[in-house]
Every structure is written in structure tokens, then in C-alpha cells.
Amino acid sequence: MKIAILDDYQGLAKTIADWSRLDKDHDVKVFREHLGVPAEVIAALKDFDVLAITRERTLLDRATLEGLPNLKLIATAGMRNAAIDLECCTERNITVLGTGGSAQATPELAWGLILALARHIPTENARMRDGSWITTLGKDLAGNTLGIIGLGRLGSEMANIGRAFRMNIIAWSQNLTDDAAAKAGAERVAKDELFRRSDFITIHYKLSDRSTGLVGADELALMKPDAYLVNTSRGPIVDTNALVSALKAGRIGGAGIDVYDIEPLPRDHPLRSCPRTVLTPHLGYVSENTYQMFYTEMVEDIESWLAGKPIRVLSA
């Protein structure tokens, strides 16, 4: 079998998990660079039987899948991957298997962004290296309001940590109930109220047609002028043009962004030059424990499929 490991930007897949058994009997190739547009993906992968992929880094839509005639198995990080056309996979008899995931890695990064914004850590770090001393005034977490958009597994973890910081926790999602919010230690509020009241807003929502553009110009206009927006979920949930305009006009306090409409983020993207931002390159799940889980279980997935007993099946 020809097996491709895609988007291994850091070259860690083969060091953080044991691929030796697969290497012994199969041709395993690592692609460190993002392959880009569908034509480039097809050109690079048309001879491969198996793809091991990280969630939503490479698009495997119908047009791409139809250009991969040898493809029989996709092993993806996580049990959900919006970049894979599962219906097309079923039609083409391509098995899709998943892995476990972490409920801590992304919330931990989100809190890193919140703290970096609140206390201007990147700015002060840079100015310390230039020989400066205190130049900014930080914003307290205790007593301020954290607004959580999406109070599922990750959002609930954000609420737990927010309470430890003695913050007031409010939350909104389209199907959130008072009881579910209370169970997570939050107050359910209307969407507009969340944007008006929050000092920090953090997004933990699944990307879908319904959630694309969920945070746009109208929502940003409701925010306090010193409030911060943090997105570690998916880029298209926030209207990027509206966010860039709000930041450049100084209408919000700032933003911490880990996810983008286009990834990797182009060098000339306007977000890179926006003021009052902390930008990270989709680090939400990039942690040692998470990677060990992803890649170890991808190996297990491939071996289980080769043995005729596939596990963690998303589509068969």
C-alpha cells in the first residue's frame, strides 16, 4: 500500500507515534508542506491508497476524491472532519476512520490568548527586549464577564476555568437551555445580550452552513470598545472583513485568533497587520498529548483496516 501522511508541518508524525510496522510492509510518505488547491492535491496523491490526515487542513471534497482513483482509506484526526465529503466516500467505497481527541488542549490555548490580550503580554515582551519598561495597562479577569458562544464540551471547560478566575459566565448557542447553562455554571442569555455584556468573548462552535458568519459586523458593533474576541474554533464563523474593519477602526479592544478562513494564513493577509491582536497558527490541538493520541490512533486505524476489522468508523 502507498500511505500518505498529510500536512505534517512540524515533521512530528513519525517521531511521536510508532509507524515502524507500517513502514516495514508499506510505502509511507510524509508531506510536510500543505498541498494547496485541489489540482495540486490530486497531482500529488493520485497514486496513494491511504491518507492519514489532520482535521480540516486538506480539503477532500467530491472533486478531489474523484481525482484519487486508488484511494481506499482515510484515517483522520478526530471523529469529525468537515473537510471530508463523507457521502462521496460512501459512494466510492472509501472507508473513513477517526481518532479520539482532547477536551483540554483548545481551551488551554484560548485562555492563553485571553491572558495575552488582557495583560498585553506580547507587546510588553517585545518592548522589554527593546529596553523599555511598563507601557500598557492590563485588564482584570476577576469580576469581569466571559461570554461563551457554544457551551458544549469545550465551552463548558472554558466556563470551569472562568469560574476559577472569578469571572461572571454567560453563554449563548442556538439550542442552549437554561438548565444546560446552569449545569455548566453559566447564565444563558440572548446572542445580542452576550455581545453587549461581555468583556471577553470566546467561540467554541461547530462550523456548519448555519454557523458560517455567525459573528459579523452587527455583532461586533454591539461589543464594548474595550472588549476582546477570541476564536479558537473555525475561521469562517467570524466574518474576517468585518473583524479587520472593527480592529483597524478601534471599535473593539482586540482579538485573539487561532483559526482562519484560509490556512496556512497567506503572508499578505490583512489580519497579520491588524492592531491589538494576538495571532497563533491554529495551535488549538497542537499539544504533545493530543498529537500522541492522533497519530498513534491513526496507526491503529490503518492496521485495523488492513486486518479487515476497522475501528472508529466514520464512513464505510
Among the listed residues 263, 276, 300, 303, the single catalytic one is 263
Strand ranges of the sheet holding 145-149, from the earlier edge strand across to the other edge: 187-188, 168-172, 145-149, 200-203, 228-231, 254-257, 277-279
Contact 124, 74 (CB under 8 A): no
Of residues 57, 234, 297, 312, which has the active-site annotation? 234
Please, are residues 313 and 36 in contact by the beta-carbon 8 Å criterion?
no
Burial of 254 (0-12, 13-18, 19+ CB in 10 A): buried
For this structure, is 263 an active site residue? yes
Known catalytic residue: 234?
A: yes
Listed in sequence order, the residues at least 6 apart from 315 whose beta carbon sits closer than 8 Å to its beta carbon are 86, 89, 90, 94, 95, 96
Q: Biggest alpha carbon distance in the chain? A: 63
Nearest alpha carbon to residue 93 among 305, 312, 304: 305
- Of 55, 57, 188, 282, the active-site residue reads 282
Concerning whether 276 is annotated as a catalytic residue, the answer is no
Q: What's the rounded Cα separation, in Å, for the pair 30 and 5?
A: 5
* Catalytic residue annotation: 234, 263, 282
